[in-house]
Amino acid sequence: MKADLPQYYRESFFSKDTLFHPELPGGRYGVAGDPVPYSVHQDNVITSLLLACFIFSVIAFANARRFIIRQAKNFFYPPREGMSDIAETSNELRFQMALVFITCLLISLLFYFYTLNYIGETFILRSQYTLITIFLAITIGYFLIKGGLYTFTNLVFFDGKRNQQWLKSMLFIITVEGVLFFPAILLGAYFELDVEKIGLYVIISLVFVKLLTIYKCYSIFFRRNVVSLQIILYLCTLEIVPLLAYWGVLLITANNLKINF
């Protein structure tokens, strides 16, 4: 038997309210608030990258510590003439290349932080992590091109043994550069240190790395024949010019990828 109820019994003011009918789309109530600003220390991907860099660095140092310690000793106390160098094993070389890659990643993260503070926070890319990947590719290309220029120049003017010594020293210097830059990333990302202080620390670290480069360049190539002008031209051509070109490419890339409002 069908009950014939009046309309005011069958429908009420709340009959179509979503609180009484969960099958109906309710939408959102209230006013949308301001989005939470982006912060590096809240980025799980950046945190995972830094944690992975630290873990891989510890593993690499644990497996190649003898080789790294031997490199450090030979860096400041080069072997005498006629003594043969101790060849590194394939595992030691592999772990050192891993440390060089970590250094490239840390440099890319440093410039990524610089980009967020001085260039912009929004880009035409789907993800900001793509920007880090682009910076990483540019950094790896920079070290490969610089290594190729050094190899070509040294093979023209010097013998192969000294060129091999220089390549090993350059790998060690790049590793030292990564070790020096790692505290700057941690202080800037998680301790909110002033950007100017971080920049000053990076500049001091970079100057220290270049001083190590000058010392090793002198001890390998110019210790016998000291020609100041030749050293200056050598370092300006193979150190200063590639560094300025690398910085310019990074700036051009970041400015072309940012969104201008």
The pTM score is: 0.79
The dihedral region occupied by 82, where left means phi > 0, alpha psi between -120 and 50, and beta the remainder, is left
pLDDT of residue 138: 95
CA–CA separation, 174 and 172 (whole Å): 5
Count other Cβ atoms within 10 Å, centred on residue 113. 17
Whose CA is closest to 174, among 216, 235, 227, 116? 216
CA–CA separation, 86 and 94 (whole Å): 16
Whose CA is closest to 113, among 191, 33, 227? 191
One digit per residue, pLDDT tens: the chain, 261 residues?
A: 455 655 555 555 555 565 555 555 555 555 555 656 666 667 788 888 888 888 888 888 777 777 778 878 777 776 555 454 556 677 777 888 888 999 999 999 999 988 888 888 788 887 888 999 999 999 999 999 988 888 888 887 777 777 888 888 888 899 889 889 988 888 877 877 788 888 899 999 999 998 888 888 878 777 666 555 567 777 777 788 888 999 999 999 999 888 776
Whose CA is closest to 146, among 126, 166, 128, 123? 166
pLDDT of residue 208: 92
Count other Cβ atoms within 10 Å, centred on residue 228. 8
Tokens of 259: 């969104």
DSSP labels for 46-70?
HHHHHHHHHHHHHHHHHHHHHHHHH
The model's pLDDT over 28-84, given as tens digits with 9 standing for 90+, comes to 555 555 656 666 667 788 888 888 888 888 888 777 777 778 878 777 776 555 454
